[in-house]
Every structure is written in C-alpha cells, then in structure tokens.
Structure 1
Amino acid sequence: MTTSERPLRVAVVGAAGWAGSRHARAFAKAGANVTHLVDQDERAIPLAQELAAQVVPGVQELPADQLDLVVVALPTTLQPPICADLLDRGLRVLTEKPVAADTEGAAIMAVASGVHDRLMVGYTLHQHPAVEILSQWVHINDVIVVNVRSVAHKRTIDSWRADPKEGGVAVVNGIHAIELVSSWLDGEPHVSATRANSSLYGSPVPEHVLATLEFPSGAVFTLQSYWSPWREPQGLNQGDWSLTIDVLAAKGRMVLSNDSLRRWDRDGGQHEQDFEPSDLFLRQAEAALRFCAGHKPAVTFAQALRATESADAIRADAVRTAAASGTPEVPARDPHRNP
C-alpha cells in the first residue's frame, strides 16, 4: 500500500499536556492515524485508548520506519534536542512554537539533518482564514506601523511557564505576533524600547511586555503581550487568547480582532468580514499533513529563527532598561545554563 492510499501515521510527544492532547485529537480528526503517544504521565492512557494509539515512555521507542510525522509539544527548553534527534533519524517533525526559547537552543536545531526541509514550526496564526487575507493585504501595501495586543487568559502562572529559562510571556505568547509580523517585513528589526513587568502574578518571569521594534523599511511594530487573570468576552483558542492586530499603511488600514476583520481604504471605502471561530489546531494538522505530502511548511526553521532572535533582543533590552532605571523587574538569564 502506498502512502497516498493509507492514512498518514503520526506520533505525538508530550501528549498528556494541553497542547499535546489538542494536537493528537486534531490529527485524528484530520484523517491521520495517531499510532504513538510519547509521555510518562498517566493522563496519556485514556487519550491513547480514545485514539487506539500505543503509549511509549520516550522518543527512542518510536519506530522511525513506521511513522510519517512526529509532533513535539513540550516546554520550549526541552524541544530542541528532541527535535534534532528526530530529524537526524530521518523523520518529519512538527514542533510547537517557538523553535526554541532562545538562540542558544535554536543552535541545537540548526545543525540537525534536514532542518530546512523536514521541520515545520507550529505557528497556528498562519492557519486562521482572516490572517491569510490580512497577510495578502500587507504584502501589497507599504506598511507604516503594526500595533499588536496579545492577551492570554491564565488563572495562575506556574509549572513550566514560571521557569525563567522559558523566557516569560514574550516567548510563550507574544512570539506568535513577533513571528507573523517578521514574516511580513524584510530585514532584521531593531528593538528601540522595551518594558517588562512581573507584578500581575508575582512570578519570576516577565508577565507583561511592551516593546517597540523598527524594521529597515521604516515600519514600526509595537507589541503589548501579557497573561491576564481576567477572561475576555471573545478570543481565539476557545476564548483563552484575545488578539488584535492593527496595520496602518499608506493606502489604508486593516484591523484583525480575533475572528473579525475590518478594512478602511484611502478612498473612504470600508469593508467588514466576520469568521466562524476556527479550530487552529485542526487547520494546522491539515497543513502538516500536506507538508508530509511534499508541500512547503507553513513556517520554516529560518522564519521561526527570526522570531526567536527578535524575542531574545526584546528580552535583553528589557533587562537593560530595568537595570538602568534601578528597578530590576525582570530576572536576567543565566548565560551559563544548559539551554
């Protein structure tokens, strides 16, 4: 039986977690055969029974010759060596965003076999139908400024999110917008101003980040990203994530607000379009299956690396700003840690 005649075979690493379980169910719904779940947590057992999958404790137990794709959904600091190992074994990999918590972690991935051909980085925003329209509009307009507000609802900041090695809210949540905007605008941006704060929850990581970046074209990108204890009335990911992207260009303006898109033309025309809430995990699974069939990945390693480099620059500028003001609100990273 050829690949085209059977469901593609998928394994999910970190299947017991929130993202991992969403990936596993999404791939099954998209028509894939989820054959293996990698996790040592007992929560993976009922999911495996639901999907008729086998639970294995580690990636070394995965049969590389019996899989078409491995999905890696782990805390960001754990992903690079695991993804690199899977790529070196000849597998195709879909890894949760970002590609690494910092450029040191990304360097592990950079030397892996097939990193530019067999790796897709899971930035789900590219799968939203409104973002597809907005991206097309941006590419034919001269952008002046992009303003983004990205808010993720969290009752507490604990577990891996509270680990300073994970980078805080800019890396865990704001990185979605950083990657998307950097895919629109050419060149390396300069971080001109950053402030970070950790007083919303009192965790040891940046919980609120406000940053301004300037691209070589002169376009300015402002990002406000924070975790919020308050649930907003509308949002992506079943209401857990509220996102607004406001793009001003010389010939018009376009605003994405969750599942709504508004456009103002220079001649006074106005256009509105509302979208049904999208299961971004399902749409990404469908894109990943096309990737397995030979299509280009929605987000490549090179593109994901640009976002990670910008997030690193934001983080470093926040630390410098806090030190200069005498109020070190953001813990500095340990440069000697193992990424």
Structure 2
Amino acid sequence: MKIGIVGASFARAAYLPALRHVEGAEVVALASSRIESARSAAEEFGIPAAYDDWQAMLDKHQLDLVLIATPTDLHAPITLAALERGAHVLCEKPTAMDAGEAKGMLDKANALGRVGMIDHELRFNPNRQRVAEMIASGELGDIRHVNIANIGASWANPASRPKGDWWSLAEQGGGRLGANGSHQVDMLRWWLGPVRSVVGQALTVLPDRLDKKTGEAWTATADDLAYFTMEMASGALAQVFMSGVAANNIGNLTQVFGSKGTITLDNDNERLMYAKAGEGFSDITVEDPNAALPGLNKGVWNVSVVAALRELTSAIRGGRGLERGATFEDGLKNQQVLDAVKRSTQSRSWVDLP
C-alpha cells in the first residue's frame, strides 16, 4: 500500500513509528512546509521522496492512502485533492475549519467511494473501549452526567509560543477547542450517542504575546480556554472544561456518572477506576498490547495510532467501510458541535444541533 504523508512533526511522533507495525504499508513520500523537516524525517525513516509542496507530492505519486497532519486550514484542500487523485485519506482533527468544509470532504469521499478516517485515535485505546462497552451493556445504568477537565500551562506564559504559531491563530484553525475539544466531543458522541444542544465559550484569555526567542510582540487570535456543556439526545449532560493558561499542568480527568456506578480515568497514569453504586473504587485498567511494540513513542496517543492505521488499511484492502474509528461522517458531526460552541460564544445561549 503506497502511502504519502503531509506534515512531518506528528508523522515522526506517531505515524511513521506506527506504520512499521502495519503489514504492507510503504511510505513513499512525505511533504512538509519546511523542506528541512521533510528531508530529516524521510532520511530517518527511509522514505525515498521529500517535498515542501504537498500538491507536488500528489502530482508525482500514485498513492493508495494519504495521511494529513497539517494546520486545520489545509485539511479540506488536501483531503479533496487526495481523494480526486484516487487516494483514501486519514485526516487529523479537528476535521476542518467549519461544518461546510467537513461536509464537502464527506460528500467527495462518498461520491468517489473512498475510505475516510478522522484520527480520533482514542477510539482504539482499550480503556476507552472498556468504558464504551460498559455504557452500551448497561453495566453503569443510565448515564446521567460526564465531567471532563483538561488543564495545562502551555499558553500560560505570554512568551511561551513563537510568533506565528498556528496553534494560536484562529485563521489557521488553532485553539484548545479544536486541538483537544474535538477529541472530547468525538469520545462523548461515541460513548453517549447524538448531541441535542450545546452551550459554551471559546475564549482568548491571553491575546498579547511575545515571541519566545526574539521577544517581539504579536497577537494570538485562537482560544486558549474553552468550555461547553452538551445535552445529549439520551438526556445525559456532558461538561468539558479545557484551559491552556493555568499556572500548573493538572492533566486530563474524565468522570462518568451512571445510575449504577461511576468511572474515572486519569490521563496522567491511564488508570481506569470503577465503583458500583454505594461501593468503593477498584482498578479495572486494560493494558494496550501495542504499547510493547518496539520503536513507538510513549503515550496513549502515539500507541493508539497503531490500531487505527491497522483498521484503516484493512478496510481499504477489503473494499469495506470502517468497522471501528471515526468516519468522515463522525468528523462532520463533531465539527457541528465545535461550530455550535463558537456560535454560543457570540450569542451567550444554547445552540441546537441539526
């Protein structure tokens, strides 16, 4: 399977180490905005061709699969071009700049019969799969509410980011809502089903920035703090709070409250804890067997990519749709929630979903 990758940073961290453990995968080309980054990654992983122009890469190679890990504003253009050239696509999150772009990606993939996956790799993490199974089986009873907090300090220092950092620019699709909120929305939709209505805010708490090397002043336009509440069609409430401007890193804590029991999952130690109603918590953590594979970078995100890529390549070979993972349709529905949070920021009111 001939694979091309756009975006060197996440490719080095996750895609390329994982693809060494995906049968039949052959990365033939890699593109990055900086040719130095593309060449360095290509040399390290034995990739024959490196580019600083993704369009040139698509023009010069007949690819079966394209992996896209770029700033968000490039997701839709690269996806559409790759699909038109005959490739299937794995696109990073958030899906696109807005639901209109996400729908265009879905419609094009469907029209051409291509497989499209959004890289919400936590769907392939065994602990989160265990939660999904316990909810689906009724073991937790009726889910009444879910709380998720993701608190960090990456944006707390005004001089912590370089000038032009795309993660801090709304015009390139940066911000905590897209970077982390998209994962939380996808996980909650996977666990709890459709979203009925959303209220929340995506805020830029520290817009006045200084370049981390030169001290030059610049302005951040993307959200560094976002929070929202989703009313699910099931009646459950899910609350998500994400901050990049805290003084300390607290990490990510997920709590699921059902009528028959409670679950907590802490990203710092990846321990899954479960308590039946009226009883104490016990450890029900499920270890990921892929974590022991050689050459992978540590962390749940990097490890989970292995199973995601195995499912995607299996679906392509089998001429079938995805049996697991986030489809382009999921990507559209996730994007509708993110768009609703942005509208709610302006209206300061609940926004109903389609």
- 2:260 aligned with 1:251, yes or no? yes
Q: Following superposition, which runs of at least 4 residues in structure 1 exceed 6 angstroms of deviation?
A: none
The CA RMSD measured in Å over matched residues stands at 2.6
Question: Which one of the candidate residues 6, 9, 16 is aligned to 1:13?
Answer: 6
Paired residues in the alignment total: 304
Alpha-carbon distance in 1 for matches of 2:56, 2:103:
22
Q: Secondary structure at the match of 2:87?
A: coil
Match of 2:291 in 1: none
Alpha-carbon distance in 2 for matches of 1:321, 1:48:
47
1:228 CA drift (Å): 4.4
After superposition, where does 1:124-139 map in structure 2 within 5 Å? 124-139=121-136
Tell me the percent identity.
23
After superposition, where does 1:1-339 map in structure 2 within 5 Å? 8-15=1-8, 18-22=9-13, 23-31=15-23, 32-41=25-34, 42-53=36-47, 54-56=49-51, 57-62=53-58, 66-114=62-110, 117-141=114-138, 142-151=142-151, 154=154, 156-157=160-161, 159-165=165-171, 166=173, 168-191=175-198, 193-200=199-206, 202=208, 203-228=220-245, 232=249, 242-258=251-267, 259-266=270-277, 268=279, 270-274=281-285, 275=287, 277-278=299-300, 279-294=303-318, 296-297=321-322, 298-321=325-348
Q: Is the 8 A contact 1:10 1:34 kept in 2?
A: yes
**With structure 2 as the length reference, what TM-score do the two structures score?**
0.77
* Pair 224,73 (structure 1): closer, same or farther in 2 beyond 3 Å: same
CA deviations 1:143-180 (Å, max 9, x no partner) are 11111112455253551112223152111211100111
Q: Is the 8 A contact 2:175 2:224 kept in 1?
A: yes
* Deviating more after overlay: 65-74 vs 214-223: 65-74
1:320 CA drift (Å): 2.0
Q: Is the 8 A contact 1:211 1:222 kept in 2?
A: yes
Q: Is the 8 A contact 1:150 1:225 kept in 2?
A: yes
* Pair 260,217 (structure 1): closer, same or farther in 2 beyond 3 Å: same
* Pair 231,51 (structure 1): closer, same or farther in 2 beyond 3 Å: farther
**With structure 1 as the length reference, what TM-score do the two structures score?**
0.80
Which 5+ residue runs of structure 1 have no aligned equivalent?
Answer: 1-7, 234-241, 323-339
Which 5+ residue runs of structure 2 have no aligned equivalent?
Answer: 209-219, 289-298, 350-354
